[in-house]
Amino acid sequence: MLYISFMKDMKENFIGIGMDKKEESMGKKILLVDDDDSVALSLEILLRLEGYQITKASNGRKALEEIKIQEVFDSPISLIISDLNMPVMDGFELVEEVKKMGLKIPILVITASPNSREKDKLIQMGVYGVIDKPFLPEEIVGKVEEIFLRYGKNRKLQVTN
């Protein structure tokens, strides 16, 4: 149901996408990590329409492999958007492992089971934000744009006055 509603919104808004926004998004690679194929596909379509490059993984372990591959080929991930509850390696473990690798990749977590204790823990772990499922497309796009304004493409926090 969420997917169908999302696709209708995308179809209605597709014509209004401007080239300026796409040009700003060029070269920014987002890693989507979610075990729910419909959510991953919805996010992929939404963010590709905004001009972002997308790569996907179905759990935290596969995400770590993808991060390493992209680093080796000098095509680093600019942002991770990850589900919290996944098999093999969940979002908490993924955040911990990315931090252990010493990479300064901003992480945005999406979750279907929000809980204030978990949100607080994630923020303390250094994630940029937590968005509850179901979410509106503009919530995701707005948060991604906000992250890139603060961090830029190069994963370093930009000082804003």
* Superfamily of segment(s) 2-151: Response regulator (3.40.50.2300)
pLDDT band at 27 (very low <50, low <70, confident <90, very high): confident
CA distance 144 to 146: 5
The token duo for 152 is 């830029």
Question: Where in the chain are the domains?
Answer: 2-151
Where do runs of H (alpha helix) occur along 14-159?
A: 19-25, 37-49, 60-72, 91-100, 116-125, 137-151
Asked if 102 and 71 touch (Cβ cutoff 8 Å), the reply is no
Asked if 1 and 27 touch (Cβ cutoff 8 Å), the reply is no
What's residue 22's pLDDT?
53
139 alpha carbon, distance to own chain's centre? 12
What's residue 127's pLDDT?
96
Provide, rounded to the nearest whole percent, the portion of the chain with pLDDT above 90.
68
- Give tens-digit pLDDT for 7-18: 445 444 543 444
Torsion sign across C-alpha atoms 72, 153, 105, 14: negative
123-151 average pLDDT score? 94
Where do runs of H (alpha helix) occur along 50-132?
A: 60-72, 91-100, 116-125
12-30 average pLDDT score? 57
117-129 average pLDDT score? 93
Cα–Cα distances (Å) from 48 to 27, 62, 103, 119, in that order, read: 12, 21, 24, 27
What's residue 65's pLDDT?
97
143-157 average pLDDT score? 76
Residue 10: strand, helix, or coil: helix
The chain-wide mean pLDDT, for the chain, equals 84
Q: Per the confidence metrics, is the pTM higher than 0.95? A: no
- Give tens-digit pLDDT for 49-102: 999 999 999 999 999 999 999 989 888 999 999 999 999 999 999 999 999 999
